[in-house]
Structure formats: structure tokens, C-alpha cells
Structure 1
């Protein structure tokens, strides 16, 4: 289809190039060959009479004109995607939609396993792609690459719709036979002991307990960092290290592992897990249906 002489399919190519800034990666995401993507870029340059990208090392750097095109191009494609999603009446019993969700392993264990099981009973063809933490999760929502984010509310952008799911608090965990802990440790003891902490991504983004510690001006002696909350107990049992975990997950782990759960001697407030989604989902009945189930299952916690 052409609009004022522009093949609108080229906007899809432009959107991916602006997102990835790498011709080969963009081509692979669109299932195009590299020569085909190069040809699309050449046609875009000719139509707009602008280079659109300049090479800096191996990275494609957008020109000022291309940068100005990024937001309207992305939003136009997202609205088209949402419009197409409403073309047919949504029937969960026959829908084969795949929903992409970025969430922590904590949210997956505590909530989303229940969501997936419930949906499987009534919508057996709906599938899920559950993704780990990303360095810029709000950018994935903005680009329409994921349907939902589930994280502590403090980590979610104010630019998109979000709704609280449930409240959680933090507790300490130690090996049941840890000789250094009789009951709950004092503040001084807690801060001086070796900790197993959860941090995410290559840049070691802080997890909620890390973030709250920093907010209160506290710094623990972290001896082991992991990228998964569920791994923390395994690295504590048999050692003198301790950890800080969400209470629900700690309770679940203590049923099968020799753990002692104790109250924290530091004033860390509870936090709220929240759900976030894109504006375009307001007109997507399938996404709205899944969202209601997520909220309903969260209310049961």
C-alpha cells in the first residue's frame, strides 16, 4: 500500500532500524535478508531525501530527521496493530494469541504460574513468552515488543498505565544451622554478615531490597550476587551467609529447605507489585481479558 507515494511497508523497516540501529539485527527481526533490508533503507533515503543513518563504527546513528521520525512512526504502527487486534470478536476458546510478559522469577512463582494455569483451562491455544528483566523494560512497552510488565511499582515508568497487584514485605533468611545467628540478628550483626543479593542484567540493576537499602542510606556486605530470587536460599544453606527476600517466596522455600526466616532489623517498608501495559491495549479485547485475569489472581493472594 502506498500513501503519498510511500510504500507503507517501509515504515515497518524504518521502525526496526530505529529500534535496533543495526541493519542485520533489524533484518532478522523482520525475517528479511540483509540485501532486502539494505534495499528498503535505500528507498527510504530516496523518498525522504535524507541519509537517515550514518555509520559510527558498527553502529547506525540516526540523523536528526530520523530521530524526529522515531516516535510518530512507532506510535502509528502500534495503533495499526491495536486496530487489527479488534478486527474480530475475541473468543478465548479459539484464540491463538501469544502474550509477551517481562517479570521477575519472584512474580512468576507467586503469581504468573497461577495465571497461566487458569488461562490454560479456558483458552488452551493462548501461549506466553515470559521474559527476564531487561535493562530498559519501559522501552519494550513503548516499542510494543511486550504486552505487560510486572515489577515493583517504584521501578515502573509513570508514562504508561499501571495498576497495583498486591503488597509484599521483606524478611531475612539464613541457614537453620547457621552458628552465627541464634534468633533475629541485631542491626550491626545483620549489616556485617555476608549477604547473598539479587541484582539484574549486565549493569547489576538493584532488586527491590537493594533499592530500599540505598534509599535508607544502608550498604550491606554483599559476597554473592545472583540474577534470580529463587537461587538465594540455595546459596545460603550450608553457609554463614544471610539474605533478604520477599516473605511469600521465603515461606515457600522454607517448606523444602532448612531455612530460618527472621524479621529484619532495618526499617524497610513494604512495597507493591504492579502491572503495566501499553496505551494501545485499551482497544485490544484479548489483552484486556488477560489483564483482568492477572488482576483477579493477584487479588486472591
Structure 2
């Protein structure tokens, strides 16, 4: 089909090439032969009067013209898919939909198991592709490559719809044998102890506590760096090190390993987890079903923040702020 001289099938090829950056992979994605994809590239170059891609080994590097075309092409194809091709009633019990979810190890362990369990009852054919947070989450939403993100609200874009789910707060954790946690943890002792810290994503973004300290010209002693909050507790056992992590996850680990939880001597803001989805999916029946289930399952967790009291025991503390100017700080975001 042609529109003002352009074969619209070429837009599908261009979108695949922008996503895959490889001729063979792009051809496989849209079920074309490699020679047919090569011909499509030639026709695209002729129509747009631009090379569109240059080669770097086997990778296709888009030109500025291709980069400029990509968002509009992707949005047009998604609009066709969700408004025309895929629009039909969603029947969970009979669906084999595979949802792509971006979420942290923290959310996976303290919350998402509820979604998996409920879906197994209501929609046994539905499956989930759970992916770690990336450095380009907003691009994933724009391209419609994920169904939902479940992340701290502070990390979400303002260009796509979202709904708050539940809150949490940061605490300090250590091995139950760690004698330095046997009395209220001061800021000075927190800074002097060895830490197990998290760095996120390919860009190795530091955790909120590191952002807070760096903003105030401070740096803690980091002995071990891990990829997610769930890796902190095992690295603390049998050591005098401490870690900073969300309370709900710390309480989950404390049920099975000798973990000690104390108040964090930093005025970090609470965590607010939220669910976000591509604007183009806003009225998609399958997306609506998933989002409604997520909000319903999060409702019991949304009523109040958890408390450290049941697990702290003799190490219950109060927050010891740094100085009077830090008491009024709202804390940085990730």
C-alpha cells in the first residue's frame, strides 16, 4: 500500500531496523529474507534521500534523519496496532498474552509474587517477562516495548500516565552478631562502618543514600558493591558491615536469615512505588486488566508505612540528623 508515494510496508522495516540495529535481526523480526530487507533499505534511502544508516561492523548506525523519523514511525505503528489491529475484548481466562514488566528485585520479592499468584488463578495462560530497570525507561514507554513499569515515582516520566501503589522507607541492616548495632546508630558510626552498597543499571547509578551524602559533600566507606537490594543481606552475614535498603525487603529477609534492622540516621524521604504504562495503552483492555489487578493487590500495602518495631528489638533507634541545615533538606532523587 502506498501513501503519497511511500510504500507503508517500508515503515515497518524502518522501525525494525531502528530497534535491532542489525539487518539480519531486523529481517527476522518482521519475517523478511535478508535480501528483501536489503531491498527495503535501498528503497527507504531513495524515498527519504538520505543514507539513514551507516555501517559499524555489523551494526547499523542511524543518521540524524533516521533518528528524527523513528519516534513518529513508532508512534504511528503503535497507534495502528492498539486502535485497529489488536482492539478486541480481553478474556483473562482464555488469554495467552505475555506481559512485559519492568521492575526491581525489591518489587519482585515484596509485591509482584501477589500478581503472579492471582494471575495463575484467573488467567492461567497469561505469562510475564520481568525485566530489570534500564537507563532508558522513558524510551521503552515511548516505543511501547513494555506494558508497565513498577518503580519509585521519583524515577518516572511526566509524559505517561501512572498510579501510586504503596510506600516504604529506608533502614539500616546488619548481621545479628554485629555488636556496633547493639546501641542507637549515630550518623558518625554509620559513616565510619564498612558498607554494602547498590549501584543500578548499566550506568551504575548510586542509591538514594549515596546521592544524599554526595549532595552534602560526604562519602561513606563502601566495601562491597552489588547490583540489587536483595544482594545486600547475604553480603552482611558474619561481618561488621552494614547496608541501606527498603524496610519491607529487610523484614522479608529477616524471616530466614539472622538480620538486624535499625533506623537509618539519614533524613531520606520515603519511597513511593507506582505503576506507569505507555499512554497509547491507556484504553487497551489487556493493559487495563493488568493495571487494575496491580492496584487492587497493592491496596493493603498502601494503607500505611511498615514499622521497624517488631524486628528491631534492643537496637531500636531514632533518626540522628547531621546538622541543622540537613534537617530541612528534602533529599535528592535517584
Q: What TM-score, normalized to structure 2?
A: 0.84
Name the residue aligned to 2:271.
Answer: 271
What is the match of residue 154 of structure 2? 154
Give the equivalent residue in structure 2 for 1:225: 225
- What is aligned with 1:97? 97
Distance in 2 separating the partners of 1:6 and 1:149 = 35
Q: 1:245 corresponds to which residue?
A: 245
Shift of the alpha carbon at 1:29? 3.8
Q: 1:283 is paired with a residue of what secondary structure?
A: coil
- Shift of residue 217, structure 1, vs aligned partner: 5.0
- Check 1:283–1:175 CA distance in 2 against 1; reply closer, same or farther (3 A cut): same
Asked if the contact 1:187–1:266 (Cα under 8 Å) also holds between the matched residues in 2, the reply is: yes
Name 2:194's counterpart in structure 1: 194
The corresponding residue for 1:260 is 260
In structure 1, the residue matched to 2:116 is: 116
> Residue deviations 1:246-301, cap 9 Å, x none?
00010110011111100011111212111111011122011011101111111121
Q: 1:180/1:162 Cα in 2 relative to 1: closer, same or farther (>3 Å)?
A: same
Q: How many residue pairs get matched?
A: 301
SS of 1:185's equivalent in the other structure is coil
Deviates more, 1:151-160 or 1:52-61: 52-61
Unpaired stretches in structure 1, ≥5 consecutive residues: none
For residues 88 and 106 of structure 2, the distance between their equivalents in structure 1, rounded to whole angstroms, comes to 35
Question: Which SS does the other structure have where 2:93 is aligned?
Answer: coil
Question: Does 1:27 find its partner at 2:51?
Answer: no
Deviation at 1:85, TM superposition (A): 5.9
Displacement of 1:47 in angstroms is 2.6
- Give deviations 1:60-100, integer Å, cap 9, x for gaps: 34334323312210110111121146532111111111110
Matched residues in 2 for 1:80 and 1:214: separation? Answer: 46
Q: 1:124 to 1:212 in 2, by over 3 A?
A: farther
> CA 1:195 to 1:57, structure 2 compared with 1: closer, same or farther past 3 Å?
same
Q: Look up the match of 1:60.
A: 60
The 5 Å alignment of 1:71-110 reads: 71-84=71-84, 86-110=86-110
Change (3 A) 1:25 1:255: same
CA contact (8 A) 1:86 1:283 kept: no
Q: Which stretch shifts more, 178-187 or 222-231?
A: 178-187
Structure 2: gaps spanning 5 or more residues: 302-334
Q: Deviations along 1:97-140, whole A, 9 cap, x unmatched?
A: 11101110111111111011112211111111001121211111
Given that 2:103 and 2:130 are in contact with CA atoms closer than 8 Å, whether structure 1 keeps it comes out as yes
Give distance in 2, aligned partners of 1:24 and 1:215: 46
Give, in angstroms, the shift of residue 240 of structure 1: 1.0
CA distance in structure 1 between the partners assigned to 2:32 and 2:197 by the alignment: 42
Greater shift after overlay, 152-161 or 177-186? 177-186
